[in-house]
A and B are shown apart, each in its own frame.
Chain A
């Protein structure tokens, strides 16, 4: 069975641009969460979606947005990129809402120049 898949794996953008990151959860999983991990730190929660509804939002500016599609895949969008947005963006899926075991993808490495 395929695990959580994310695309693209690496990308380079310049300040002010927009980026879209994509995530496909494990088959049968209905919850998708997004995390940002900067070098040397633990992942920080950005969004969680369950059954296509937003269930949680972390302490990130409105430049960050996300959505979940009917097939449970998800997109994370970041507008007006800043240098500080450079990070590894991780997607995780779980069977249940907020209490299930989380399974992570390989991440999307974003570099903002």
Chain B
């Protein structure tokens, strides 16, 4: 059974700092991996999708990497801003079953 773990559960950083969020999964047989952002009480916003054949994807200040063989993905946020404060969720897609989510990392960027 696929399990997704996100570490740390919460993170607080000063504005301007670069940071890394971690996601690990137990079964490397995945089709793709998706990173989402969730503001309190709101829905999920898709940030980046990495196909299993890819190593990384970039969008603006965000860079996500995927190491399928070791069951790990990281989300790198450059030059963090207070507006980046949110919960970040990682989800793996096994391909023939629904997305499996981690519990998320709650990020606070302090001005």
Contact = CB atoms under 8 A, between A and B. Distances in A.
Interface of A: 4, 6, 33, 40-45, 48, 56, 58, 88, 90, 92, 98-99, 101-107, 109
Contacts of B44: 43, 90, 92, 104
Given A42-B103, A43-B44, A90-B44, 12 more contacts: A4-B43, A41-B103, A42-B102, A43-B99, A45-B99, A56-B97, A88-B41, A99-B31, A99-B93, A99-B95, A104-B36, A104-B44
Nearest to A10: B41
B49 interface: yes
A99 B43 contact: no
A45 B93 contact: no
8 contacts: A6-B43, A40-B103, A41-B103, A44-B101, A48-B98, A101-B34, A104-B44, A107-B43
Given A99-B31, A99-B95, A102-B34, A43 B45 contact: no
B46 interface: yes
Contacts of B96: 98
Nearest to A41: B103
